[in-house]
């Protein structure tokens, strides 16, 4: 198996699932650390790239045109002006494809289920959870009311859906993008890890 891609809804513990699968299979986990490579490609510092990542509320890419350039300029090399989303996308695309060629990796997010959907030796995983369960957990964790928690989740997931639609003309939730869909509201992280590893084993037999 060359690559496992994991796409996650909000509150599905995707980072934990990805890291545990990587540990169990001996694969490399490519998630947030890919920011450092993007920073090098864009000639910005790793700390600035991290800031961009945080400004994006932990999403890989933002539609920068929704914000003023002054926000983006906090994280870009001043010599390169305003970082546009197309530039960030192109760098990400190249890096994800390079990671695929390296093999034996797990990619969490980054639109990898679309970037690599035609590639052989891939397992595309989707982590989902009932919306009310996600809202309830966020309400408890952040002391929010139902309306505020729902709005936060809708905003988080809405931008991801928009990104997949804009660059790949795909529905983020489309079943054909995934080989395995796991409901994290019904099973534990450990069980999800076992399911993914079992699917990898079956694909490689």
Q: Give pLDDT tens digits for 145-187.
A: 999 999 999 988 888 888 888 888 999 999 999 999 999 999 9
Residue among 52, 107, 105, 112 at smallest CA distance from 83: 52
Max Cα–Cα distance, the chain, nearest Å: 52
Look at 106-110, 179-183, 196-200 and tell me which has the smallest mean pLDDT: 106-110
Residue 66: what pLDDT?
37
Q: Which fold has domain 3-198?
A: Rossmann fold (3.40.50)
Q: In the β-sheet with 28-30, what is the strand arrangement from edge to edge?
A: 28-30, 105-108, 3-8, 122-128, 180-183
**Between 134 and 54, where is the model more confident?**
134
Cα–Cα distance for residue pair 163/21, rounded to 1 Å = 26
Q: Give pLDDT tens digits for 31-79.
A: 765 555 555 655 656 665 555 555 443 333 333 333 333 333 444 444 4
Tokens standing for residue 83: 């970082």
């Amino acid at each position: 198996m060359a690559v496992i891609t994991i796409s996650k809804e909000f509150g599905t513990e995707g980072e934990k699932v990805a890291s545990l699968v990587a540990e169990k299979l001996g694969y490399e986990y490519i998630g947030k650390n890919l920011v450092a490579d993007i920073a090098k490609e864009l000639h910005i510092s790793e700390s600035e790239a991290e800031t961009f990542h945080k400004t994006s509320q932990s999403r890989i890419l933002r539609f920068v045109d929704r914000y003023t350039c002054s926000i983006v300029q906090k994280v870009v090399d001043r010599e390169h002006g305003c970082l546009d989303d197309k530039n960030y996308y192109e760098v990400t695309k190249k890096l994800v494809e390079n990671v695929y060629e390296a093999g034996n990796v797990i990619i969490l997010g980054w639109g990898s289920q679309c970037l690599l959907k035609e590639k052989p030796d891939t397992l595309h995983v989707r982590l989902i959870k009932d919306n009310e369960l996600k809202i309830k957990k966020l309400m408890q964790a952040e002391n929010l009311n139902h309306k505020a928690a729902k709005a936060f989740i809708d905003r988080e997931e809405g931008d991801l859906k928009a990104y997949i639609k804009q660059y790949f003309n795909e529905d983020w939730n489309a079943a054909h993008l995934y080989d395995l869909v796991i409901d994290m509201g019904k099973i534990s992280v450990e069980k999800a890890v076992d399911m993914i590893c079992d699917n990898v084993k079956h694909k490689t037999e």
